């Protein structure tokens, strides 16, 4: 929602853009890149964290090198939309490490998930013995990604 936006000045925007590219930058290197001083950058980063603009710092891992190179987009239809079913399903999703992303959707399907697996058999096991066994799940439809054309974690920052 536009009302939820935090008002950022140009320096804050440059800081966010640079940290999205490389969160391992030293404070001094970041200050140099954005045209500021190290103490100012440090103070602004803390303010951006407190405002919720900057969240946790992570390192992105290569899924293929970790044996999780299969990406599956999985549509899920609930058996019922009663609050208890939805809460139980969403708790399951948050706890399941193979589910990388999950979105509540409008339209024919209730949720869209991105699931990682080591191979088709691994995904079949997850689908048949885990996902479809969940009492809230009525149906699922799977779409295997053949390749990744674009994967980006950095949000576009208008300067």
DSSP code string of 112-158 = EEEEEESSHHHHHHHIIIIITTSTTEEEEEEEE-S--S----SPP--
pLDDT score of 1 more than 60: no
85 and 137 in contact (C-beta within 8 Å)?
no
Residues 80, 36, single domain; the answer is no
**133 in any annotated domain:** yes
H-helix or E-strand spanning residue 17? helix 10-21
Q: Are residues 79 and 43 in the same domain?
A: no
CATH number for the domain that contains residue 21: 1.10.10.10
Report yes or no on 24 lying in a domain: yes
Rounded distance between C-alpha atoms, residue 23 and residue 49, angstroms: 13
Q: Burial code of 57-95, b = ≥16 C-beta within 10 A, e = fewer? A: eeeeeebeeeebebbbebbbebeeeeeebbeebeebbee
Domain carrying residue 42 = 9-50
Strand ranges (DSSP E) for the chain? 70-78, 99-104, 111-117, 137-144
Model pTM greater than 0.95?
A: no
CA 88 to chain centre: 20
Q: Does residue 149 sit within a domain?
A: no
Q: Are residues 76 and 137 in the same domain?
A: yes
pLDDT of 31 higher than 70: yes
Distance CA 67, CA 75 (A): 23
Q: Is it the case that residue 145 has pLDDT exceeding 50?
A: yes
Does 158 map to a domain?
no
Assign 2 a pLDDT band (cuts: 50, 70, 90): low
Q: What is the pLDDT of residues 79-119, one digit of tens each?
A: 999 999 999 999 999 999 999 999 999 999 999 999 999 99
Residue pair 139/4 in contact (Cβ under 8 Å)? The answer is: no
Q: Are residues 82 and 38 in the same domain?
A: no
Mean pLDDT over each residue of the chain, to the nearest integer: 96
Share of the chain above pLDDT 90, in %: 96
Q: Is residue 33 included in any domain, yes or no?
A: yes
């Amino acid at each position: 929602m536009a009302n939820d936006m935090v008002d950022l000045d140009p320096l804050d925007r440059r800081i966010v853009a640079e940290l999205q590219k490389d969160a391992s930058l030293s404070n001094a290197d970041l200050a140099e890149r954005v045209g500021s001083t190290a103490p100012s950058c440090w103070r602004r980063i803390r303010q951006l964290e407190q405002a919720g603009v900057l969240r946790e710092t992570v390192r992105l891992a290569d899924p293929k090198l970790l044996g999780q190179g299969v990406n599956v987009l999985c549509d899920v239809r609930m058996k019922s939309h009663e609050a208890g079913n939805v809460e139980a399903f969403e708790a399951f999703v948050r706890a399941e490490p193979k589910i990388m992303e999950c979105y509540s959707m409008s339209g024919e399907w209730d949720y869209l998930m991105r699931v990682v697996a080591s191979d088709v058999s691994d995904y079949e096991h997850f689908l048949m013995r885990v996902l479809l066994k969940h009492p809230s799940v009525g149906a699922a439809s799977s779409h295997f990604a053949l390749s990744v054309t674009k994967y980006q974690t950095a949000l576009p920052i208008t300067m």
